[in-house]
Structure 1
């Protein structure tokens, strides 16, 4: 595939990834606001992160990258990127609380969503280029034919 075609394919995948990720993140953000009224913010963030990660991993693997079901390995690798993201978002909101105690929900959500956007770009790169990268599949008939040809030659 030529360079322009590859760029278009990556741009389309990023658009799907961003759209799906944004929808899941906005849903998680709303859940976070509600849950943080009944439990400490880090716990609410952890809960929404776990649920949204499972949903987002399924959507990204199937829709954004056309990979099919991610399987346990895909979920675990995606969860590792999300764990790092959780630390970043928690640190960002924690830093806000230290710098501006009593900041309102709008500023908290602005910081949270901004940190989440940066984490999302990093997640895209890791998931697209590593976890759900399209790898050439070996054609079983080709392998069988090669073994047969090798056996005949011997």
Structure 2
């Protein structure tokens, strides 16, 4: 199973995220020249590929401006939905239903408060990461407007 989440692709390029890696996007180019040296790689990106790629955002920043209350409300609603789905599931499917969303909230058969605590912590970390990315983008954009 691939861990690549495609953003854009064509016959000679693939622009993607790796699963569970929110720090980078990746670009694979085939049939292009490149230069490599210590700590440096230069790959000329054909303009038609660049025009396709630049239409796509590199990262979801939708959590960057969420408040603690918005996060808590979102998590509480999702946990309540998970618990309801778990309780309504056929007995032979409860194990699977319990695991769905487990990376964020824990298992659906764990106490509600524990799931909420884990979910809030996850989304607060996500918000912090997105705020850092957003700040880095703003810094680069500012540098482009005011070159030294």
TM superposition score category, shorter chain reference: 0.3 to 0.5
The structure, 1 or 2, with the larger RCO (C-alpha pairs under 8 Å, 6+ apart) is: 1
Instruction: Give the alignment's TM-score, normalised by structure 2.
Output: 0.36
- Considering fraction of residues, name the structure with more helix: 1
Instruction: Give the alignment's TM-score, normalised by structure 1.
Output: 0.35
